[in-house]
Amino acid sequence: MDTLLSSEGDSQRTQYPYVTGTSVIGIKYKDGILMAADMGGSYGSTIRYKSIERLKQVGKHTLLGASGEISDYQEILKYLDELILHDNMWDDGNSLGPKEVHNYLTRVMYNRRNKFDPLWNSLILGGVKNGQKYLGSVSMIGVHFEDDHVATGFGNHLARPILREEWRDDLTFEEGVKLLEKCMRNLLYRDRSAVNKVQIAKITEEGMTISQPYSLKTYWDFAAFKNPTVGAEGSW
Amino acid sequence: MFRNQYDTDVTTWSPQGRLFQVEYAMEAVKQGSAAIGLRSKTHVVLACVNKSNSELSSHQRKIFKVDDHIGVAIAGLTADGRVLSRYMRSECINYGYTYESPLPVGRLVVQLADKAQVCTQRSWKRPYGVGLLVAGLDESGAHLYYNCPSGNYFEYQAFAIGSRSQAAKTYLERKFEKFTSSSRDDLIKDALFAIRETLQGEKLTSSVCTVSVVGVEEPFTILDQATVQALINEFEISAEEAPANEAAAEPAGGDAGGAAAEEPAPMDI
Residue A66 makes CB contacts below 8 A (sequence gap 6+) with A21, A24, A37, A54, A56, A73, A76, A121, A122, A123, A124
What is the enclosing helix (H) or strand (E) of A107? helix A98-114
Give one word for B259, left, alpha or beta, with left for phi > 0 and alpha for psi -120 to 50: alpha
Please report the ipTM that was assigned to this predicted complex.
Answer: 0.88
Q: Find residue A27's DSSP bridge partners.
A: A34, A149
CA atoms within 13 A on the CB side of A109: 22
Nearest CA in chain A to B107: A90
Q: Does B96 touch chain A (CB under 8 A)?
A: no
**DSSP codes of every residue in A176-208:** HHHHHHHHHHHHHHH-TT--S-EEEEEEETTEE
Under a CB-based contact definition with an 8 Å cutoff, are residues A165 and A23 in contact? no
Give one word for A191, left, alpha or beta, with left for phi > 0 and alpha for psi -120 to 50: beta
What is the CATH classification number for the domain harbouring B70? 3.60.20.10
Rounded CA gap, A187 and A22, in Å?
10
pLDDT score recorded for residue A223:
83
Rounded CA gap, B223 and B46, in Å?
10
State the average pLDDT over residues A187-201.
Answer: 97
What total of structural domains would you count in chain A? 1
Rounded CA gap, A113 and A117, in Å?
5
R_g of chain A, CA atoms, integer Å: 19
pLDDT score recorded for residue A25:
98
Say yes or no for a CB contact (<8 Å) between A92 and B106.
yes
| Whole-number average pLDDT of chain A | 93
Rounded CA gap, B264 and B258, in Å?
15
- Other beta carbons within 10 angstroms of residue B25's beta carbon come to 28
Low-confidence ranges of chain B (pLDDT < 70): 2, 237-269
Closest-CA distance, A212 to chain B, in angstroms, reads: 32
Domain that holds residue B134: 20-239
Rounded CA gap, B128 and B149, in Å?
5
Which amino acid is residue B72, in one-letter code? Answer: V
Residue A223 is assigned to a structural domain of this protein: no
What is the CATH classification number for the domain harbouring A112? 3.60.20.10
Closest-CA distance, B114 to chain A, in angstroms, reads: 13
What is the enclosing helix (H) or strand (E) of A98? helix A98-114
Interval A101-140: pLDDT, tens: 999 999 999 999 999 999 999 999 999 999 999 999 999 9
Confidence band (pLDDT; 50, 70, 90) for A234? confident
Please list the helix, strand and coil fractions of chain B in percent, rounded to the nearest 5, in that order.
Answer: 45, 20, 35
Rounded CA gap, B164 and B198, in Å?
5
Residue A13 is assigned to a structural domain of this protein: no
Say yes or no for a CB contact (<8 Å) between B99 and A103.
yes
Residue B245 is assigned to a structural domain of this protein: no
Residue B230 makes CB contacts below 8 A (sequence gap 6+) with none
Q: Does B104 touch chain A (CB under 8 A)?
A: yes
Residue A188 is assigned to a structural domain of this protein: yes
The dihedral built from the CA positions of residue B188, B191, B197 and B202, taken in this order, carries a sign that is negative
Residue B263 is assigned to a structural domain of this protein: no
Q: Does A93 touch chain B (CB under 8 A)?
A: yes
pLDDT score recorded for residue B249:
44
Nearest CA in chain B to A96: B99
Residue B10 is assigned to a structural domain of this protein: no
- Closest partner residue to B98 (CB to CB) among A92, A103, A130 is A103
Interval A21-34: pLDDT, tens: 999 999 999 999 99
Interval B178-200: pLDDT, tens: 999 999 999 999 999 999 999 98
Q: Does A130 touch chain B (CB under 8 A)?
A: yes
Predicted TM-score of the model (pTM): 0.87
* Distance from the Cα of residue B246 to its chain's centroid: 22
Q: Measured between alpha carbons, how far is residue B219 from residues B67, B141, B209, B213 in Å? A: 8, 14, 20, 8
What total of structural domains would you count in chain B? 1
Burial status of residue B100 (CB atoms within 10 A of its CB: 0-12, 13-18, 19 or more)? middle
pLDDT score recorded for residue B253:
39
Residue A1 is assigned to a structural domain of this protein: no
Window 132-191 of A: residues touching B by CB (8 A cutoff) are: none
Rounded CA gap, B36 and B157, in Å?
11
pLDDT score recorded for residue B261:
43
Residue B247 is assigned to a structural domain of this protein: no
Nearest CA in chain A to B102: A100
Residue A236 is assigned to a structural domain of this protein: no
Under a CB-based contact definition with an 8 Å cutoff, are residues A39 and A198 in contact? yes
Residue A141 is assigned to a structural domain of this protein: yes
* Distance from the Cα of residue B9 to its chain's centroid: 27
At residue A12, does pLDDT exceed 70? no
pLDDT score recorded for residue A228:
80
Domain that holds residue A132: 19-215
Higher pLDDT, A142 or B244: A142
